[in-house]
């Protein structure tokens, strides 16, 4: 393995960069959400403080659970998110595929959900079990439109799943979101991502007022810190993926950087706005929404993409 | 007749005959010796195929790369599953089981080695009979009905095989290896359809799959891992691969129809699997669902997808038998394969759980396990295929592809439920003091899990290079280039680095304490147990799925039930015609004579 790949994974655009930017994105989320509720919101480095504070706290293991799986789940989740961050990041910034194409990325994202489910199921707590079940249901709900939406850039890139090919196509023909099929697919993908991150209105697995954080109920200390960090890292990974697939990528030179940051902020703020303006939906409503409304829309986008529109 | 090809069939057959008389321990020893002997012979065929065997002036047995592919894995899987059978077989049926096991192996070997249609037919039919024998060993209340259903569906499909081979023989002789039949006339088209029915019934393709879940529930669990999960797939898909890889010259439209049937198999079976409350039936439906991927790959006509389909066959054999056996271990300890009754076994049976976890992640197609690699090959093949088609066909193929990808998300969901219900969640109190499965059992599941990992990480170097690509070349496919990009080794390495980094942080900072679960002040008890079987209630209650599920429960889509209803309806009609009055019978004769005269002109 080349040292450069290790650097990609550990520093940029992998763990250090994604975690750092994620914690700041998380601050933006908290700040904007606070403004929605006429509050001031936390200071810039609050998430860093929270993370290190949690590292110093006690970690509780449940007697009834399966301790090794309970501990392994958040760490495995962290590794998976770091992998996706690296693959998406190297394609986005350097235009090359590192470890896998879009199909691999889609499946790795499923693997992340698996870690949540296994962590919840290993806790031996009834709320965690219920939350784990809901997490899978939510995955089922958003996966169908997400697959369809991801197929649109693949079709536009000449039926090739490599991330670099998708970017190359957009460099040649302009951003995908400028086409009818691309715009429709982006809207679908954005909503599916909202569910993949379990953000409101799709925070069904965690549902604090119902099942008290669901899969995460028994997590505390460093293990909880990792779950929180994973969630913040997703604030980077998913917007970057959407920029890569639909918004023509992120150039690291000259005005490209400004455009890139603006694209990122646009998507992030869109996600935060959706999050703050919608109450939680029921599981069956979410499934019906994704399967009966978004999926046909995404299928229409795929058909348009095949026709080259 | 002293060719090693004959010996490969004769050795297990002789073991089966001997086993009729030997005591149990010797029966096991003989079976092991028989399989190992066969394995050594097959190893010798590697790179140096033995001469064909002629009988009555025509080639009867012959080995090419496609049959070698199946033959090798029949032996590998036969040996590993038998390792599981060494200890823990049901004492009531053990004697018969140990006769049927080598007999099945002999039949399977004969099937893939027969290059002549008649020999193929005989061995294929006999393997179906052995399947019926295993079904008869079942002990549940519905076991005999299941055995009958299996026999009628699988045996009935043999009739189609006979007709199909005979029709094909009319245009190109009985050789299975050398023929190239264009689907020009109705006879050839009919031959294709009949052989397709036979392959689908054997492998468990939609809509002829309905015997698989029932057999999986009622037959001994070892035979469920051995036949519907492994050998029947190897045989059924072997036939399909022959059909699609040169035996017939298949046009695009026909291919698309078969690919669509494959996609439907994936979705329909996995939707049924998700709602099962019986662990074995759940696995049985997945055994069906996975066939869909193989059918799609093999039927697509794209080189990479074809190879992917064959590779998926191997992978399925590994993880599906692993899952059946792991459930078998749990079931033998806990005394039930009902998901509502199991739970929390991971603590008592950590090795079995770890193996089942690998199997579950593999079947769900998660990287870097083997199931992902073959699915990834199939997806790319279908994508590239779609890229070269007219828009209408491209959309059609993409819809099939979406069904396949979504099917794997559903598979994942179903296995999360399976793992939760069997191994995780809260442990019922009666399972206190349960012990790990015997060593031979977790060694067998462990070997299968290990192969799942090895085939995922070293796919290119081991299974593809040695078995899959030569077999696909035999079927006329060349040039396996990947339009996508995937580095399983790198993914695993980086994953381990990331995981260890996290673990280091945890170990350096954590102060741990153990305590009971917190459920809002209630005392945790059995009443608060989540079994996981109701995870997908929302989906079964959603319109229009609710209606479909209800009808499926009433067997409204089961070919077997529909067929038996039609048969009984017809015989009821005929019964009513038997009035017992002489005049009526004379009238029948008169009508018959009249009809005959009209027909004869």
The more confidently predicted of residues B31 and B512 is B31
Contact state of B395 with A302 under an 8 Å Cβ cutoff: yes
d(CA A298, CA A27): 32
d(CA B157, CA B154): 5
Report the C-alpha dihedral over residues A226, A229, A230, A233, rounded to 10 degrees.
-160
Question: pLDDT exceeding 90 applies to what percent of chain A?
Answer: 60
| pLDDT tens per residue across span B403-425 | 999 999 999 989 988 988 888 87
pLDDT value for B548? 84
Name the residue with tokens 């089966």.
B16
B544 burial class (0-12, 13-18, 19+ CB within 10 angstroms)? exposed
Q: Which residues of B touch A101 (CB under 8 A)?
A: 484-486
Q: Which residues of A touch B426 (CB under 8 A)?
A: 64, 124, 126, 129
d(CA A78, CA A65): 21
pLDDT at B236 over 90: yes
pTM: 0.93
| pLDDT tens per residue across span B262-289 | 999 999 999 888 888 889 999 999 999 9
pLDDT value for B517? 77
Instruction: Report phi then psi at B114, rounded to 5.
Output: -75, 120
Name the residue with tokens 């459930």.
B327
Instruction: Report phi then psi at A100, rounded to 5.
Output: -170, 160
Of B365, B398, B503, the CB nearest to A151: B398
What average pLDDT does the structure give for chain B? 89
pLDDT value for A63? 81
Q: Which of A67-76, A250-259, A297-306 is predicted least confidently?
A: A250-259
d(CA B379, CA B293): 10
The more confidently predicted of residues B396 and A209 is B396
Q: Cis before residue A285, ω within 30 degrees of 0?
A: no
Q: How far apart, in Å, are the Cα atoms of B561 and each of B394, B555, B586?
A: 36, 7, 35
Choose, out of A102, A140, A148, the residue to mutate when testing the contact with B (most B CBs < 10 Å): A140
**DSSP secondary structure of A90-110:** HHHHH---SSB-HHHHHHHHH
Task: Decide: A74 and A227 in contact? Cβ < 8 Å.
Answer: yes
Task: Decide: B181 and B188 in contact? Cβ < 8 Å.
Answer: yes
pLDDT band, very low/low/confident/very high, at A21 (cuts 50, 70, 90): very high
For A200-211, what is the mean pLDDT? 77
pLDDT at B109 over 90: yes
For A114-140, what is the mean pLDDT? 86
Most confident stretch, A53-67, B440-454, B510-524: B440-454
Contact state of A137 with B528 under an 8 Å Cβ cutoff: no
Domain segments of chain B as ranges: 563-600
CB atoms within 10 A of CB A286: 22
pLDDT at B208 over 70: yes
Contact state of B511 with A58 under an 8 Å Cβ cutoff: yes
pLDDT at A309 over 90: no
| Strand, coil or helix: A35 | helix
d(CA B513, CA A70): 13
Name the residue with tokens 């899978």.
A136
Of A100, A221, A226, the CB nearest to B485: A100
pLDDT band, very low/low/confident/very high, at A25 (cuts 50, 70, 90): very high
The answer to whether the complex's ipTM is over 0.90 is yes
Q: Are strands B58-61 and B53-55 parallel, antiparallel or unpaired?
A: antiparallel
B526 burial class (0-12, 13-18, 19+ CB within 10 angstroms)? exposed
Nearest CA in chain A to B407: A144
Give the HSE-up count for residue B489: Cα atoms under 13 Å, Cβ half-sphere. Answer: 7
Q: Which residues of B touch A155 (CB under 8 A)?
A: 398
d(CA B378, CA B380): 5
| pLDDT tens per residue across span B49-106 | 888 888 888 888 989 889 999 999 999 999 999 999 988 888 888 899 999 999 999 9
Residue B28 CB partners (closer than 8 Å, separation 6+): B85, B86, B98
The region, left, alpha or beta by phi > 0 then psi within -120 to 50, assigned to residue B580 is left
d(CA B518, CA B454): 41
Contact state of A110 with B366 under an 8 Å Cβ cutoff: yes
d(CA A255, CA A107): 34
Beta bridge partner(s), residue B53 = B61
pLDDT value for A238? 95
Question: pLDDT exceeding 70 applies to what percent of chain A?
Answer: 99
Task: Decide: B110 and B11 in contact? Cβ < 8 Å.
Answer: no
Task: Decide: B347 and B106 in contact? Cβ < 8 Å.
Answer: no
pLDDT band, very low/low/confident/very high, at A270 (cuts 50, 70, 90): very high
Nearest CA in chain A to B507: A222
| pLDDT tens per residue across span A158-201 | 999 999 999 999 988 889 999 999 999 999 999 999 999 888 88
Q: What would you measure as the largest C-alpha separation in chain A, in angstroms?
A: 58
Q: Strands of A52-95 (E only): list them.
A: 58-62
Task: Decide: B419 and B281 in contact? Cβ < 8 Å.
Answer: no
Taking the Cβ of residue B511 and every Cβ of chain A, the question of whether any pair is shorter than 8 Å is answered with yes
For B185-190, what is the mean pLDDT? 89
Contact state of A103 with B399 under an 8 Å Cβ cutoff: no
Q: Which residues of A touch B494 (CB under 8 A)?
A: 5, 9, 79, 82-83, 86, 99
pLDDT value for B282? 92
| Strand, coil or helix: B440 | helix
d(CA B377, CA A168): 23
d(CA B264, CA B204): 12
Taking the Cβ of residue B545 and every Cβ of chain A, the question of whether any pair is shorter than 8 Å is answered with no
| pLDDT tens per residue across span B511-558 | 888 887 777 777 766 666 676 677 777 777 777 777 888 888 877 778
Taking the Cβ of residue B504 and every Cβ of chain A, the question of whether any pair is shorter than 8 Å is answered with no
Of B353, B485, B493, the CB nearest to A1: B493
Contact state of B509 with A83 under an 8 Å Cβ cutoff: no
H-helix segments, B301-369 = 303-334, 350-363
pLDDT band, very low/low/confident/very high, at B193 (cuts 50, 70, 90): very high
Instruction: Report phi then psi at B175, rounded to 5.
Output: -70, 130
For A86-102, what is the mean pLDDT? 91
Question: pLDDT exceeding 90 applies to what percent of chain B?
Answer: 51
Nearest CA in chain A to B514: A61
Name the residue with tokens 């066909």.
B393
Q: Which residues of A touch B512 (CB under 8 A)?
A: 58-61, 221
**DSSP secondary structure of B225-240:** HHIIIIIHHHHHHHHH
Q: Which residues of A touch B505 (CB under 8 A)?
A: 55, 222, 226
Tokens of A221: 């200390």
Residue B516 CB partners (closer than 8 Å, separation 6+): A62, A63, A64, B524
d(CA A149, CA A147): 5
Residue B286: closest CA among B405, B379, B410, B378? B410
Contact state of B494 with A122 under an 8 Å Cβ cutoff: no
What's the sign of the alpha-carbon dihedral B533, B536, B541, B545?
Answer: negative
Name the residue with tokens 């939680």.
A280
Residue A142: closest CA among A112, A180, A101? A112
Q: Which of A185-189, B178-182, B488-492, B542-546 is predicted least confidently?
A: B542-546
Q: Which residues of B touch A11 (CB under 8 A)?
A: none
pLDDT at B43 over 70: yes
Cα A135 to its chain centre, rounded Å, is 14
Of A101, A143, A163, the CB nearest to B409: A143
Angle of the A3-10 helix axis to the A15-36 helix axis, nearest 10: 20
Task: Decide: A116 and A73 in contact? Cβ < 8 Å.
Answer: yes
Residue B419: closest CA among B367, B335, B347, B356? B356
Task: Decide: B203 and B157 in contact? Cβ < 8 Å.
Answer: no
Name the residue with tokens 């009513």.
B576
DSSP code of B369? S
| Strand, coil or helix: B513 | strand
Task: Decide: B339 and B282 in contact? Cβ < 8 Å.
Answer: yes
Q: Are strands B181-182 and B248-249 parallel, antiparallel or unpaired?
A: parallel
Task: Decide: B495 and A79 in contact? Cβ < 8 Å.
Answer: yes
Nearest CA in chain B to A299: B399
Task: Decide: B425 and B343 in contact? Cβ < 8 Å.
Answer: yes
Task: Decide: B287 and B266 in contact? Cβ < 8 Å.
Answer: no
CB atoms within 10 A of CB A11: 12
Taking the Cβ of residue B29 and every Cβ of chain A, the question of whether any pair is shorter than 8 Å is answered with no
d(CA B238, CA B247): 12
Contact state of B485 with A307 under an 8 Å Cβ cutoff: no
For B12-24, what is the mean pLDDT? 92
For chain B, how many residues are written?
A: 601
Task: Decide: B157 and B202 in contact? Cβ < 8 Å.
Answer: yes
Q: How many CB pairs under 8 A join A and B?
A: 265
What is the least distance, in Å, from the CA of B417 to any CA of chain A? 8
Window 354-393 of B, Cβ < 8 Å to A: 361, 364-367, 372, 376, 379-380, 383-384, 386-387, 391
Most confident stretch, A198-202, A204-208, A298-302, B113-117: A298-302
For B493-522, what is the mean pLDDT? 87
Beta bridge partner(s), residue B59 = B54
């Amino acid at each position: 393995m080349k040292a450069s790949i290790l650097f990609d994974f550990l520093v940029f655009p992998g763990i250090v960069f994604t975690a750092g930017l994620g914690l700041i994105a998380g601050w933006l989320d908290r700040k904007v959400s606070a403004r929605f509720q006429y509050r001031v919101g936390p200071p810039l480095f609050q998430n860093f403080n929270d993370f290190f504070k949690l590292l110093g706290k006690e970690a509780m293991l449940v007697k009834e659970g399966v301790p090794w799986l309970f501990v392994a789940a958040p760490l495995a989740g962290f590794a998976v998110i770091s992998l996706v961050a690296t693959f998406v990041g190297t394609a986005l910034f350097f235009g090359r595929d590192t470890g896998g194409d879009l199909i691999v990325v889609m499946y790795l994202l499923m693997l992340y959900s698996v870690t949540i489910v296994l962590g919840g199921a290993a806790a031996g707590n009834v709320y965690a079990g219920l939350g784990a079940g809901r997490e899978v249901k939510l995955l089922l709900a958003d996966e169908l439109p997400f697959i369809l939406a991801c197929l649109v850039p693949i079709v536009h890139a000449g039926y090739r799943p490599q991330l670099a090919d998708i970017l190359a196509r957009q460099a040649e023909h302009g951003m995908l979101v400028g086409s009818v099929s691309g715009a429709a697919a982006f809207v679908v993908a954005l909503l599916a991502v909202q569910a993949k991150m379990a953000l409101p209105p799709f925070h069904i697995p965690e549902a604090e007022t119902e099942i008290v954080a669901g899969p995460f109920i028994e997590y505390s200390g460093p293990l909880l810190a990792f779950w929180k960090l994973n969630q913040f890292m997703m604030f980077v990974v998913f917007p970057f993926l959407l920029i890569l697939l639909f918004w023509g990528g992120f150039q690291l030179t000259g005005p490209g950087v400004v455009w890139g940051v603006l694209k990122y902020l646009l998507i992030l703020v869109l996600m935060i706005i959706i999050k703050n303006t919608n109450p939680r939906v029921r599981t069956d409503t979410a499934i019906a929404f994704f399967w009966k409304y978004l999926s046909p829309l995404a299928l229409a986008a795929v058909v348009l993409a095949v026709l080259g529109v | 007749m002293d060719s090693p090809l004959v010996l490969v069939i004769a050795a297990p057959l002789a073991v089966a005959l001997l086993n009729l008389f030997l005591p149990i321990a010797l029966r096991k020893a003989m079976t092991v010796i028989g399989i190992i002997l066969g394995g050594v012979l097959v190893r010798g065929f590697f790179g140096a195929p033995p001469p064909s065997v002629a009988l009555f002036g025509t080639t009867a047995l012959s080995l090419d790369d496609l049959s070698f592919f199946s033959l090798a894995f029949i032996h590998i899987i036969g040996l590993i599953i038998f390792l599981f059978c060494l200890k823990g077989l049901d004492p009531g049926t053990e004697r018969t089981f140990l006769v049927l096991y080598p007999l099945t192996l002999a039949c399977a070997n004969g099937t893939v080695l027969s290059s002549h249609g008649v020999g193929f037919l005989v061995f294929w039919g006999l393997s179906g009979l052995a399947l019926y024998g295993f079904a008869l060993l079942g002990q549940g209340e519905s076991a005999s009905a299941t055995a009958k259903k299996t026999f009628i569906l699988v045996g009935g499909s043999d009739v189609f095989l006979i007709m199909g081979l005979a029709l094909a023989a009319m245009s190109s002789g009985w050789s299975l290896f050398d023929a190239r039949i264009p689907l020009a006339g109705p006879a050839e088209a009919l031959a294709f359809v009949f052989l397709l029915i036979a392959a689908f019934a054997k492998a468990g393709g939609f809509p002829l799959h309905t015997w698989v879940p029932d057999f999986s529930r009622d037959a001994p669990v070892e035979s469920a891992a051995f036949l519907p999960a492994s050998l029947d797939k190897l045989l059924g898909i072997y036939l399909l691969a022959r059909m699609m890889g040169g035996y017939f010259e298949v046009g695009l439209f026909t291919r698309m129809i078969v690919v669509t049937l494959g996609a439907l198999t994936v979705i329909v079976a996995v939707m049924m699997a998700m709602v099962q409350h019986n662990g074995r039936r759940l696995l049985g439906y997945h055994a069906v669902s996975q066939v869909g991927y193989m059918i799609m790959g093999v039927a697509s006509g794209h080189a990479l997808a074809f190879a992917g389909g064959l590779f998926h066959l191997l992978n399925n054999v590994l993880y599906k038998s692993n899952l059946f056996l792991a459930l078998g271990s749990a079931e033998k300890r806990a005394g039930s394969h009902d998901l509502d009754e199991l739970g929390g076994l991971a603590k008592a049976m950590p090795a079995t759980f770890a193996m089942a976890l690998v199997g579950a992640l593999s079947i769900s197609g998660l990287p870097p396990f083997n199931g992902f690699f073959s699915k990834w090959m199939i997806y790319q093949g279908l994508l590239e295929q779609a890229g070269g088609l007219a828009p209408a066909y491209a959309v059609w193929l993409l819809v099939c592809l979406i069904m396949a990808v979504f099917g794997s998300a559903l598979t994942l969901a179903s296995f999360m439920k399976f793992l939760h219900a069997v191994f995780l969640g809260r442990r019922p109190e009666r399972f206190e003091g349960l012990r790990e499965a015997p060593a031979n059992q977790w060694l067998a599941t462990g070997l299968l899990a290990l192969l799942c990992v090895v085939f995922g990480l070293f796919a290119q170097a081991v299974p593809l290079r040695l078995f899959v690509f030569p077999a696909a070349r035999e079927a006329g496919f060349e040039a396996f280039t990947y339009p996508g990009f995937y580095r399983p080794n790198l993914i695993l390495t980086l994953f381990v680095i990331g995981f260890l980094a996290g673990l280091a942080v945890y170990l350096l900072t954590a102060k741990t304490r153990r305590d009971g679960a917190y459920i809002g002040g209630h005392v945790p008890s059995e009443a608060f147990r989540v079994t996981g079987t109701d995870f997908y209630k929302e989906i079964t209650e959603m319109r229009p799925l609710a209606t479909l599920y209800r009808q499926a429960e009433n067997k409204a889509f089961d070919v077997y039930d529909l067929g038996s209803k039609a048969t009984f309806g017809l015989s009821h009609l005929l019964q009513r015609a038997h009035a017992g009055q002489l005049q009526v019978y004379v009238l029948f004769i008169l009508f018959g004579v009249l009809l005959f005269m009209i027909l004869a002109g």
